A and B are shown apart, each in its own frame.
Chain A
Amino acid sequence: MSKLSFRARALDAAKPLPIYRGKDMPDLNDCVSINRAVPQMPTGMEKEEESEHHLQRAISAQQVFREKKESMVIPVPEAESNVNYYNRLYKGEFKQPKQFIHIQPFNLDNEQPDYDMDSEDETLLNRLNRKMEIKPLQFEIMIDRLEKASSNQLVTLQEAKLLLNEDDYLIKAVYDYWVRKRKNCRGPSLIPQIKQEKRDGSTNNDPYVAFRRRTEKMQTRKNRKNDEASYEKMLKLRREFSRAITILEMIKRREKTKRELLHLTLEVVEKRYHLGDYGGEILNEVKINRSDKELYATPATLHNGNHHKVQECKTKHPHHLSLKEEASDVVRQKKKYPKKPKAEALITSQQPTPETLPVINKSDIKQYDFHSSDEDEFPQVPSPVSEPEEENDPDGPCAFRRRAGCQYYAPRLDQANHSFENSELADLDKLRYRHCLTTLTVPRRCIGFARRRIGRGGRVIMDRISTEHDPVLKQIDPEMLNGFSSSSQTIDFSSNFTRTNASNKHCENRLSLSEILSNIRSCRLQCFQPRLLNLQDSDSEECTSRKSGQTVNNKRVSAASVALLNTSKNGISVTGGITEEQFQTHQQQLVQMQRQQLAQLQQKQQSQHSSQQTHPKAQGSSTSDCMSKTLDSASAHFAASAVVSAPVPSRGEVAKEQNTGHNNINGVVQPSGTSKTLYSTNMALSSSPGISAVQLVRTVGHTTTNHLIPALCTSSPQTLPMNNSCLTNAVHLNNVSVVSPVNVHINTRTSAPSPTALKLATVAASMDRVPKVTPSSAISSIARENHEPERLGLNGIAETTVAMEVT
């Protein structure tokens, strides 16, 4: 055997192997041991089983005999084929078709119940059949429905009755039987089913769980372990780049829109000048007409925005009503119309004011403008696909998983944080904005603070809340309120069975009945339709104002009205920013009015409140000369300034959409933060069922401001000039921007702590601001300072995202 000392070459699969047969075979004895050179191939069996007795025996038998021997077969448990009732069981014959059988896809889903009756059921059926006729299939369908409708919890009899379209007695009988049977049943269902996996992974090792869903895993080349990680990194990189692009694009768009707005404003002013519309009458008319049209425009424009911006200022400081905003709104509205064609979908989307009614209300129209400079400042970029979150994603049972292709938006916590210096105020705020004084038409009574929302299937749900003022509120006679409402011409609009007296915002909770009433009386009889609300508000205000001019303001004894006044004053001041004199006179007037009001304030508490609020603000504000300035005024400044600057309409809209998205999608009313929005949303929703929720919500953000608007526009003789000044203001925005540094500074400072992502946003924001700033905006920004950090953090690009998909 020495000749075998050489090493055989490896077996080459590509090399021809000559075949030797029978006699011409060489002497193989010499070759045997060389077989080593051919690698031993694995059998492909589990090693432990490979050695099994019977297999080994069979293999060796085959080796020896080259054939299977009966006794060497691997034994298996027996199988019998002697089911004698087979022919009875499988009735009928099936003729083999000539053609190959071809099955139609989805043909297989028949309507047959999955439940199969057993003999126990049969006895019941026989018993039931004595009284009525029930077929087995009918019975099975019933059980099937019951089973499928109940998971861990059995359906109730009532539900069963809804579920089953049968005679009541039969349902009862079957239901009782089913409940009993199910209790005795060992399995989770009477229809035996394969155990399903649970998402929390607790069933990962359960041998009875089968057919788990495959969570998709990316396929990278095998044997390259790095691939997956680097692939992920690349993905992430790409995602971030595209986010940057999105942000830049949005900025670009915003700037464009702003420019357009400017041009349009100019145009409008020019036109008005030519028309001699110095008093704004023509403008108003045009607006009204337009608002009607907008109604129709709304639905189509809903979803065009990719970039949702939270309209913060409004939602956030709803109570800080901004006159400025109104003023600017007025301006803007004119612009809007001409703008529409140019700005296309984006702009149109903002306009939709589904509820706009043919009432002369600038405010109405304004409501739907969501482009305050503020909004612009905090463009809500589709929330960053936040990496930290992804990584830390707790693998809880309901763990949120991102889906590719979905954009996620940052949670709107901004609304959640109303930082009040005054905790009492905060309390009030909550009460006010979430729940409003509500009166039912049937039975006719005031149910105190409540809020309305639409439940499933359009049912109206009233959430009531108990407050300290309940006893007082109970005394309120709906008729009293009614009287006001009717006087304010708004009854007609409130077609709903319920009418809310939304003394909400402006009525102090601690007031006595008379105060509340007076509050209501003074202007805030509101209906559920935010539209209507506004209308009513404005209407009432208008009426009153027309009657009594400035005295209207005086009528407003309540703090709320003070707030209104303040805002209005501010608004004036804002508008007056251009013409100093105007501004001054306005302010003085307003101050006077306010003083009157204050004097009328009967409750010291309240006055204290207001004064408390007033002082800090006043100090901070450049318009400190007006003593009565309150929080509201500041916010009004702020809001107004926001509005004055050209907003990107679409964003505002989008923001609204998002808003609604939050509310609706989650199906749960968001916590206190959103209070105002929600509140108004609810109203909007409930009031105009026909209009899609999204549209309605848009209006929400501004409803609060709208209340104030009427006061501004209608109450004072200066309204017209004011409008003009608004316009001019807008025109001269750039000039005014001298003040802006302050603003910007503030903004940036507040945002500084936020992560890099935020920075981008803020930069964008600050860029926005520059042109927008009006004298008053400086103030407003100061006023806002408190809120801003939060808002930035939340709205800009937040680290946390809401577990919600907006697709």
Chain B
Amino acid sequence: MAEVGEIIEGCRLPVLRRNQDNEDEWPLAEILSVKDISGRKLFYVHYIDFNKRLDEWVTHERLDLKKIQFPKKEAKTPTKNGLPGSRPGSPEREVRKTLDLSLQPASAQASGKTLPIPVQITLRFNLPKEREAIPGGEPDQPLSSSSCLQPNHRSTKRKVEVVSPATPVPSETAPASVFPQNGSARRAVAAQPGRKRKSNCLGTDEDSQDSSDGIPSAPRMTGSLVSDRSHDDIVTRMKNIECIELGRHRLKPWYFSPYPQELTTLPVLYLCEFCLKYGRSLKCLQRHLTKCDLRHPPGNEIYRKGTISFFEIDGRKNKSYSQNLCLLAKCFLDHKTLYYDTDPFLFYVMTEYDCKGFHIVGYFSKEKESTEDYNVACILTLPPYQRRGYGKLLIEFSYELSKVEGKTGTPEKPLSDLGLLSYRSYWSQTILEILMGLKSESGERPQITINEISEITSIKKEDVISTLQYLNLINYYKGQYILTLSEDIVDGHERAMLKRLLRIDSKCLHFTPKDWSKRGKW
């Protein structure tokens, strides 16, 4: 039984949490931060295997001190002991440094070092549940963490990626976070590619963004999502805004967002509903509203049906709105990065009209030019509007745009859990709609190619396949692949479509795609 005072960052222990069914649970959690408010200690806990958005500050009463596990790495890495009350963030940095120093030997040994560790890692990788049994992992050993790059079944593919980190495939970078609890492991993996790149392809140090210690400090410049977690600082792992007031709504942020630091201490951050400008207080907002005459997003309306409208905003032309929107969105999107400016993006803001104006419901951003067929960068339905079909509407709209452009598209990765569910649901319904709408011609069995589905829907081929797979529609029969629509699939689809009332009407879309390559980059 540990004392409350002994609890430090990195400790793991069961924490009381009430689930959706109002039952008490004691999931294992990690202490990310400790703070002292008027003599009372508060602990920021991350429930392991739960999404970060559920992380919260708890009092010690909710901690099960009997089952506390102290971070093992503390003992191993002496650098950390010297830092009283250090947050996990700082030790990680220490580790990173050591890692850097040892990188040369590490890579030198890589050939000789070989399998023991890799095997272990692969195992863990495949059985994620096991992680709980090995709290902390042993990422503090630079060797093991850096060598985990080579091992495991994707090694060849990853090698390619290591050399050209500018085109990361999210699924490949994912292993970088095999040890989700430990930032150092992530860092280690993230540091490696940069190093390799530097030595391999750039003889000149043209990449001035690299900081002096050789760690690539600037992420890639395309896309809007973080694919490696190299910048996953402890700061960004914790929510920093308590509450946001936006129009009628009060939102509890899910994730970190880089609003000005001095505003993070406020109990409520007040946002102008229309221009999304942030203010310290209600009074500020009030004053702002006397000066702000916006009643809709400051862009061109390109779609309107009923009360639903879409506005297109150019991230280059309307920076302040784009930035404000991104800041707000970051509160609800874990992997979104605000590292770079908004210039290369277009923002499509969905609004609902009432007598006060066009209220933002959600939005998605889109690269003006995507090298990877992304038709969506970030997508978000604001929490008050969630689970009411708006998300699917946004997705549908994004594919409508792709249809106009005559391209297929896919959302930028990584997807969030909600993103995955929404997209899968949209894909399923869209594809099933097509399949079920096929009429048999002249008594023959209707048939369709995957390419055709892709063309009709603008859903990228891979997504079509994965959806068919997910729905278990593809089967092999008599030497060929067939699609089978079982009864419960059909029933389920029909029921779902009954509920899906909000649809995009392509006739209401007034949109001409621009060729951004011709008008200069961004």
Contact = CB atoms under 8 A, between A and B. Distances in A.
Interface of A: 8, 11-22, 25-26, 28, 31-32, 34-35, 37-55, 58-59, 62, 65-67, 71, 73-83, 86, 89-91, 93-96, 100-103, 105-106, 108, 110, 112-113, 116-119, 122, 136-137, 140, 185-187, 192-195, 201, 204-205, 207-217, 222-223, 225-226, 228-229, 232, 390-391, 393, 395, 399
Contacts of A80: 249-250, 384
B65 to A, nearest CB: 23
B482 A103 contact: no
21 contacts: A13-B454, A15-B449, A20-B483, A46-B177, A47-B175, A58-B417, A58-B421, A67-B495, A75-B19, A89-B285, A96-B358, A103-B300, A118-B281, A136-B287, A136-B290, A192-B280, A212-B339, A225-B163, A225-B164, A228-B202, A391-B204
B476 A207 contact: no
B474 A16 contact: no
Nearest to B332: A76
B71 interface: no
Contacts of A51: 49, 128-129
A50 B51 CA distance: 10
B462 A41 contact: yes
B171 A79 contact: no
A221 to B, nearest CB: 10
A74 B496 contact: no
Q: What does DSSP make chain A's interface, helix, strand, loop or mixed?
A: loop
Contacts of B495: 66-67
Q: Range of interface residues on chain B?
A: 35 or more
Given A16-B449, A226-B201, A101 B296 contact: yes
A646 B482 CA distance: 89
Given A15-B481, A20-B483, A66-B488, 18 more contacts: A11-B481, A13-B450, A13-B465, A18-B446, A21-B485, A32-B475, A45-B174, A50-B417, A89-B286, A94-B357, A100-B304, A118-B284, A136-B287, A192-B259, A192-B263, A194-B323, A214-B522, A225-B163
Nearest to B479: A9
B51 A52 contact: yes
A45 B287 contact: no
B218 A204 contact: yes
Which of A40, A185, A210 has the most chain B CB atoms closer than 10 A to its own CB? A210
B386 A76 contact: yes
B43 interface: no
B115 interface: no
Q: What does DSSP make chain B's interface, helix, strand, loop or mixed?
A: mixed
A211 B342 contact: yes
Nearest to A114: B277
A80 B383 CA distance: 9
A54 B475 contact: no
B353 interface: yes
Contacts of A105: 317
Contacts of A213: 340-341
B321 to A, nearest CB: 8
B387 to A, nearest CB: 7
B417 A45 contact: yes
Interface string B277-320: 01111111111111110011011111010000101000001110
Interface in B198-238: 200-206, 208-209, 211-212, 217-218, 221, 231, 233, 235-236
Interface stretch (B7-15, B77-85, B136-144, B407-415): B407-415
A47 B178 contact: yes
A407 to B, nearest CB: 21
B489 interface: yes
B474 to A, nearest CB: 6
List 5 A-B pairs, minimum CB-CB distance, nearest first.
A66-B492, A41-B466, A187-B262, A204-B217, A79-B383
Interface string B105-129: 0000000000000000000010011
B505 interface: no
A302 B185 CA distance: 62
Contact of A14 (B166, B212, B343, B449): B449
B20 A75 contact: yes
A232 B491 contact: no
Given A19-B447, A81-B384, A210 B327 contact: yes
A25 B414 CA distance: 36
Contacts of A136: 287, 290
Nearest to A24: B445
Given A22-B486, A28-B484, A101 B300 contact: yes
A20 B419 CA distance: 30
Contact of B301 (A86, A91, A93, A101): A101
Nearest to B186: A48
A228 B201 contact: yes
A323 B476 CA distance: 101
A31 B261 CA distance: 58
A204 B208 CA distance: 12
Contacts of B344: 214
Contacts of A39: 465
B104 interface: no
B355 interface: yes
Contacts of A78: 252, 383
Contact of B236 (A83, A207, A214, A399): A207
B141 to A, nearest CB: 20
A41 B169 CA distance: 13
A48 B180 contact: yes
A55 B283 contact: no
Nearest to A193: B260
Given A21-B490, A122-B283, A222-B167, A100 B302 contact: yes
B481 A17 contact: yes
B484 A20 contact: yes
Nearest to A51: B128
A145 B7 CA distance: 48
A113 B291 CA distance: 8
Contacts of A110: 291
B295 A94 contact: yes
B448 to A, nearest CB: 6
Contact of A79 (B249, B259, B490): B249
A216 B311 CA distance: 28
